[in-house]
């Protein structure tokens, strides 16, 4: 199950020195996955729901969701200081929801104009910066976990992450801009 509370503990994590966050450890032998599985993040970082907001976004078309992009302390510091490439230990999370009308708000406004987050949608995604471990994918490990179950999505879907992110190599493969 996707852990949504700040008390969630991940036994396969190591604390980042002085960062107050944990970085997932991926051990292919321990997880009974092939060695190339190490380019994928296989554990949900503990406490990610308490990370700071980087930005929000609205995706249309086949994705059709609203999303919040969060960062651990290392990622937030890099964003605020304009540091590129991101330092090792930076973790970026993407949470998404369906967009639904708010009947209560619309009644207050007297017209349909307000929408809010509905059910979780399109899983929870993570990018974990480790320039040595994930050298083959620009220094980033990618993970996506199904809503509710916390299981990783199929490997074929994860394998498409880096291909899209390559288009923004100049920004250290990160699409999201910091919302000031």
pTM: 0.77
Nearest to 19 by CA among 52, 41, 44, 56: 52
DSSP 122: S
Q: What is the pLDDT of residues 22-77, one digit of tens each?
A: 434 333 333 333 445 567 899 999 999 999 999 999 999 999 999 999 999 999 99
* Domains with residue ranges and CATH for the chain: 46-171 (3.50.70.20)
In three-state secondary structure terms, 38 is helix
High-pLDDT (> 90) share of the chain, %: 68
In three-state secondary structure terms, 49 is helix
Peptide bond into 4 cis (omega under 30): no
C-alpha to C-alpha distance for 18 and 16, rounded to whole angstroms? 6
DSSP 106: H
Q: Provide DSSP, 65-103.
A: EEEEEEE-HHHHHHHHHT-SSPPTT-EEEEEEEEEEE-H
- Residue 44 vs residues 26, 27, 153: alpha-carbon distances, Å: 11, 14, 12
Q: What is the pLDDT of residue 154?
A: 85
């Amino acid at each position: 199950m996707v852990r949504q509370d700040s008390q969630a503990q991940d036994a396969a994590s190591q604390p980042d020195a002085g960062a107050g966050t944990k970085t997932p450890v991926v051990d292919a032998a321990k997880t009974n996955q092939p060695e190339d599985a190490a380019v994928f993040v296989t554990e949900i970082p503990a406490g990610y729901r308490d990370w700071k907001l980087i930005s929000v976004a609205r995706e249309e078309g086949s994705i059709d969701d609203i999303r919040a992009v969060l960062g651990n302390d290392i990622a937030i510091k890099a964003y605020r200081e304009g540091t590129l490439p991101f330092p090792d230990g930076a973790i970026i999370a993407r949470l998404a929801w369906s967009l639904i009308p708010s009947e209560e708000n619309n009644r207050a406004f007297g017209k349909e104009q307000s929408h809010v987050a509905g059910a979780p949608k399109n899983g929870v995604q993570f990018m974990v910066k480790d320039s040595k471990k994930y050298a083959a994918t620009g220094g980033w490990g990618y993970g996506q976990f199904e809503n509710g179950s916390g299981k990783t999505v199929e490997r074929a879907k994860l394998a498409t992450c880096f291909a899209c992110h390559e288009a923004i190599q100049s920004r250290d493969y990160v699409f999201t801009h910091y919302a000031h």
